Amino acid sequence: MPQSDWRRASIKAFAIGAAVGAFMAIVMPDRWSNLAYTPWFVDWFVSPSFMVFASICIVFGIDFISNGGADVHLLATLWTLSVALVMGGYGIGLSIVVRRFRAPPGVRRE
């Protein structure tokens, strides 16, 4: 398969993962966003998402620690974006793993 097809497949995998991540962030209860009350079965995407969220807030100078620092809607939007980015990254990783196992015998991918 040509390189552009693999790139297109990775973009599709990121888009699907990001869409699933955005949906998960929207329907996820608010108390799960608090790292102290995060159940173990959602910790695999909440913890990396919090790191992305904190990085975005620090880069743009948004106060996300105190309650009076930033607009609530802005923080909710950034949280949804960070979960979507993490899940999109998981989608790309999964597509790479699938691509490795679907390779024809004798073909080595770089």
pLDDT digits (tens, 9 = 90+) for 77-106: 999 999 999 999 999 999 888 887 776 666
Residue 107 domain flag: no
pLDDT digits (tens, 9 = 90+) for 38-48: 888 888 888 89
Its domain, for residue 18, covers 3-101
Residue 88 domain flag: yes
Domain count, the chain: 1
Higher-confidence residue of 72 and 16: namely 16
Residue 108 domain flag: no
Q: What is the CA radius of gyration of the chain?
A: 17
When pLDDT is cut at 50, 70 and 90, the band that residue 109 belongs to is: low
8 HSE (CA, 13 A, CB side): 5
Are 58 and 33 in contact, with CB atoms under 8 Å apart?
no
Residue 23's nearest CA partner among 98, 87, 104, 110 is 87
Is the alpha carbon torsion for 51, 56, 61, 62 positive or negative?
negative
Are 86 and 22 in contact, with CB atoms under 8 Å apart?
no
Residue 72 domain flag: yes
pLDDT digits (tens, 9 = 90+) for 9-67: 888 999 999 999 999 888 888 787 777 788 888 888 888 999 999 999 999 888 888 76
Residue 31 domain flag: yes
